[in-house]
Structure 1
């Protein structure tokens, strides 16, 4: 595989990421999140075990369980903005060297900080469930 083939592959992967994060694939994405959770918990599953809920919430039904899936992003971030930008960057690149960039090292956060970030969304979700 030469550089142009690899560049083409990277562009295709960015296109796939954009499609996966789109509203059109919301159900597929939510099911995928539930599958990864079950995988981490060593709970076996089959694709047929998942069904979309008729009315949300919840997002995904799995056997007797009901899952509400949500993303908590840093302030000012939107779900697909970064991948849209990355797709444009890859489409306009003529070489792999143009795609090289230094990424910030991930920062560990404490459980208290994690809960602080989740709390507003969890309060909103709890309110929505109460109303329904």
Structure 2
């Protein structure tokens, strides 16, 4: 019985790194985020099925992106929800879409790692 448990634990230990290793997924480029933002502006302005479908088409793949923070996905989710044609294209609808779209570059941009400045020695 102990031999079976030991074998199982040994097999589990060897398999863990293989399971845990995820393929590298690059951060969305600034151009990709900008294209979503511009498509949202077009949806807000034009209120057409094509323009709004384009927003959802561009934003949807990023919802499954493993490296994006939850806040970015929340903004994308809101944008996908708001980017639907409406019977009247009033200012509230336009502002809701454009304000959400403006948040994308700030919230979804790749974080910049700041390097510390070397401390100067005073002699």
TM > 0.5 fold call: no
Which is helix-richer, 1 or 2?
Answer: 2
Q: Larger RCO: Structure 1 or Structure 2 (Cα < 8 Å, ≥ 6 residues apart)?
A: 2
* TM-score of the two chains, using structure 2 as the length reference: 0.31
Which structure dedicates a bigger proportion of its chain to strand?
A: 1
TM-score (norm 1): 0.30
